Amino acid sequence: MAERRRVVVTGMGVVSPLGDTLEEFWTRVVAGESGIARMTLADPEKYPCQVAAEIKDWDYTRYMDRKDGRRMARFSQFAIGAARMAIEHAQLNLEGIDRERVGVVMGNGGGGLQSDEEAVRTMDTRGGMKVDPFFVSKRLNNMAGANIAIQFGLLGYNTTVVTACAAGTQAIGDATEVIRRGALDVALAGGAEAGICELGLAGFSSMRALSTSFNDTPARASRPFDRDRDGFVPGEGSGVLVLEGLDHALARGATPLAEVIGYGVTADAAYLVAPSENGAGAARAMRLALRDAGVEASVIDYISAHATSTDVGDLTETQAIHTVFGERATQIPVSAMKSQIGHLLGGSGGVETIAAVQALRTGWVSPTLNMDQAGEGCDLDYVPHQARRVNPRIVLKNSFGFGGQNAVLVLQKYEG
């Protein structure tokens, strides 16, 4: 049986509420800063949630031609920015490699939700024939991946994973599988989302999914695992990784940043917006990822949690971790990046996986802000308040989405 092709990360790009360079993002993560403030992309006065984690002073012309950018929705602009930075970080010379062997796998949840809102407002006030002629091509979920391919001339396998909040992580896992089976040498993979608008705010508010108790103190609103958590904080952004077959990376002289060694996906097949009881589906995904990596649960040094700051979600993720890791569960650092950047929905997995790779590279794991007093049943080591030097060798990344979508990665420090 042929040896399985190894897949490594060679570049990363991030557009986030904590900065739109990898360096700024990670510096602010380790410093324990929050990117959450009063919402400005929509007028929140009529709604119970008035805070968000937004990209400030966004200027897409730093990453693409103005004309091209005007024809894209905001989530695609974020993806182009993150992809360009990832390519540069990887020192990937696209002129010197076979572009038919370079592809794109992106995760997304809602597509161009802002474009939907704008189109409906225009149709209502000015008539349907005044709707932006680029509306359809802006709003489609696949357009982040499509626009990346167009911008950089990437001719290989291209697809979009639309599994709600699991999408970014699942896209990275799917891209890993495509490289493993030999269909690509290089993939740009991750997630992108930009759904902060009145339509998104109204939808999530009506289902009572958002935090409502900390409008006057926005940085305190996202509080995973805490007793006073009361819903997630909407966020936006994109994280894109350059994944390569190890043989290809070494042949071109690239420096691997980390290795993707395991991947698991399951469905709860239970509820539309709630996880299965005791986190059973999440636990199965973690076990599948560990089995795919060929490692025991005992070697995991750190867990990057999904942890949205919802009552049921955080509890069931804790229960799933207990199921998989047994007595050792309380000894493993578990942190929740959404406490700093809010919930980027389909973009979360891309940005949070980049943070997991940074943990392997730097030794530091991100903190869980606002974890003042653990909620009932939340009894793990959640790295409260401050980043911690853990020096992990192998980490596990969880992402779970509406519809019972579960995606888990196992990442390892590259050791040759």
Domain map (residue ranges) of the chain: 7-251, 263-412
Tokens 């709707």 sit at which residue?
Answer: 131
Whether 306 is a known active-site residue: answer yes
- One-letter amino acid of 106: M
Q: What does the alpha-carbon distance between residue 184 and residue 105 come to, in Å, rounded to a whole number?
A: 11
CA dist 348 to 107, 271, 372, 398, 401, Å?
Answer: 9, 21, 24, 10, 11
- Identify which of 243, 323, 207 has the alpha carbon closest to the alpha carbon of residue 276: 323
Q: What is 263-412's CATH topology?
A: Peroxisomal Thiolase; Chain A, domain 1 (3.40.47)
Q: How many residues does the chain have?
A: 416
Q: Write down the pLDDT at residue 263.
A: 98
Q: What does the alpha-carbon distance between residue 308 and residue 165 come to, in Å, rounded to a whole number?
A: 10
Measured at the alpha carbon of residue 70, what is the angle toward residues 68 and 74, in degrees to the nearest 5? 105
Tens-of-pLDDT digits for all 416 residues of the chain?
A: 568 999 999 999 999 999 999 999 999 999 999 999 999 999 999 999 999 999 999 999 999 999 999 999 999 999 999 999 999 999 999 999 999 999 999 999 999 999 999 999 999 999 999 999 999 999 999 999 999 999 999 999 999 999 999 999 999 999 999 999 999 999 999 999 999 999 999 999 999 999 999 999 999 999 999 999 999 999 999 999 999 999 999 999 999 999 999 999 999 999 988 888 889 999 999 999 999 999 999 999 999 999 999 999 999 999 999 999 999 999 999 999 999 999 999 999 999 999 999 999 999 999 999 999 999 999 999 999 999 999 999 999 999 999 999 999 999 999 98
Query: Could you tell me if 339 and 222 are in contact, meaning their C-beta atoms sit under 8 angstroms apart?
Result: yes
Q: Give the max Cα distance, the chain.
A: 64
Q: What does the alpha-carbon distance between residue 22 and residue 18 come to, in Å, rounded to a whole number?
A: 10
Which is catalytic among the residues 165, 197, 248, 322? Answer: 165
Which is catalytic among the residues 89, 248, 322, 343? Answer: 343
Measured at the alpha carbon of residue 101, what is the angle toward residues 148 and 145, in degrees to the nearest 5? 20
CA dist 265 to 1, 67, 291, 402, Å?
Answer: 24, 39, 12, 14
Whether 165 is a known active-site residue: answer yes
Helix (H, G, I), strand (E, B) or coil at 294: coil
Q: Write down the pLDDT at residue 2.
A: 67
Classify each residue of 81-119 as buried b or exposed e, where b means 16 or more C-beta atoms within 10 Å of its C-beta: bbbbbbbebbebeeeeeeeebbbbbbbbbbbbbbbbbbb
Q: Write down the pLDDT at residue 274.
A: 85
Which are the contacts of 126, defined by CB distance < 8 A and separation ≥ 6? none
Phi, psi of 300 (to 5 degrees): -70, 125
Same fold for the domain at 7-251 and the one at 263-412? yes
Which is catalytic among the residues 49, 197, 248, 306? Answer: 306
Handedness of CA 270, 272, 278, 283 (dihedral sign): positive
Going by CATH, does the domain composed of 7-251 fall within 3.90.950.10? no
